[in-house]
Amino acid sequence: MLKLNVTDETSRLRSVVLGTAESSGPTPQAEEAYDPKSLEHILAGTYPVETDMIREMDAFVAVLRKYNVQVFRPKVITDCNQIFSRDIAFVIEDKLIKANILPDREEEFQAIKYVLEKIKEDQIIYPPKEVHIEGGDVMPWKEYIFIGVYTGPEYASYITARTNNAAVDFIKEKFPNKIVKSFQLRKSNTNARENALHLDCCFQPIGKDMAILHENGFLIEEEYQWLLDYFGKDKVFEITKDEMYSMMSNVFSISPTVVVSERNFTRLNNWLRDRGFTVEEIPYAEIAKQEGLLRCSTLPLVRE
Ligand SMILES: NC(=[NH2+])NCCC[C@H](N)C(=O)O
């Protein structure tokens, strides 16, 4: 049995689900895209091909194995994009919460059923259907749970809005011992530079007390300011619009001192090394074309 435990974003990783690019299907039609960056690449004829994405994910597996992390992969569903495991479920403390994901992505959850068999039934939570929530919007961080949300009246018209207010209430109710803090995110169906698809597309804690942050991803200035004050300006790596677009906040922590990052993130990787981090650089720029990166591809089960 798996002893689920996740209370932050950076404690030493022991067990994780990593998505797969195997049989991710042909290039979607423009109307099938569910994020603006994929749409852009579909229209430009530069949508990533499966062999390149498999190669990138193989590099990720190799790093995880080097650190003796137990890695589960989803069962391959034919012609189904299963790269972003983060969004189909997530772990807080010793509970796994099934996400209520975009209907276009619903079948992805079936593929990790075999992992769920290793978890006690009473540790798996299935939120009611009015709760919309994806793991990319949820971050346990010590006494807090940070949640990215969109609550505007046009919620339904945004395919990029994935987590609603009902989700915030639901998580508060399930984790009464935690402080749940929500952040309104900027959404655009058509412009990836103006779209924080999930909270992890504009923010992520790293190390013991640092963070990567992009101001324009937040709709409400005070909410962004709260994060800046909480971590402190000297502990925050601020990224630009183009850096958000390249998914720079979406690196992945194996421990408080080891970060897996994209090899082209020179400015970030140097900043991290200057602060004593070991940076495991891998190629992930093809997968980045789908508006997701390293954190998005993982579903941590056990961090000690
Ligand atoms: N946790 C994340 N940021 N996941 C990114 C998912 C990207 C994927 N194209 C989608 O729109 O669903």
ipTM of predicted assembly, 2 dp: 0.95
Closest ligand 1 atom to residue 295 Cα is 1
Q: Does the beta carbon of 198 lie inside 6 Å of ligand 1? A: yes
Closest ligand 1 atom to residue 200 Cα is 3
Alpha carbon of 201 to ligand 1 centroid (Å)? 9
Q: Does the beta carbon of 35 lie inside 6 Å of ligand 1? A: yes
CATH architecture for segment(s) 13-200+290-303: 5-stranded Propeller (3.75)
**So what's the pLDDT on residue 251?**
98
**So what's the pLDDT on residue 48?**
98
211-267, pLDDT tens digit by residue?
999 999 999 999 999 999 999 999 999 999 999 999 999 999 999 999 999 999 999
Q: Does the beta carbon of 160 lie inside 6 Å of ligand 1? A: no
Choice from 139, 185, 291, 295 to test ligand 1 binding pocket (greatest atom count within 8 A of CB) = 291
Cα 71–77–83 angle (5° rounding)? Answer: 50
Alpha carbon of 183 to ligand 1 centroid (Å)? 18
Closest ligand 1 atom to residue 102 Cα is 12
Give CA–CA dist 13/28, Å, rounded: 34
**So what's the pLDDT on residue 119?**
98
pTM given for the model: 0.97
Q: Does the beta carbon of 291 lie inside 6 Å of ligand 1? A: yes
Q: What values do phi and psi take at 271, rounded to 5? A: -60, -45
Q: Could you tell me the residue ranges of all domains in the chain?
A: 13-200+290-303
Closest ligand 1 atom to residue 198 Cα is 3
**So what's the pLDDT on residue 54?**
98
**So what's the pLDDT on residue 13?**
98
**So what's the pLDDT on residue 261?**
99
CA 197, 7, 101, 50 torsion-angle sign: positive
Residues 6+ apart with CB under 8 A from 144: 178, 179, 180, 181
The residues of the chain scoring below 50 in pLDDT are: none
Alpha carbon of 295 to ligand 1 centroid (Å)? 10
**So what's the pLDDT on residue 111?**
97
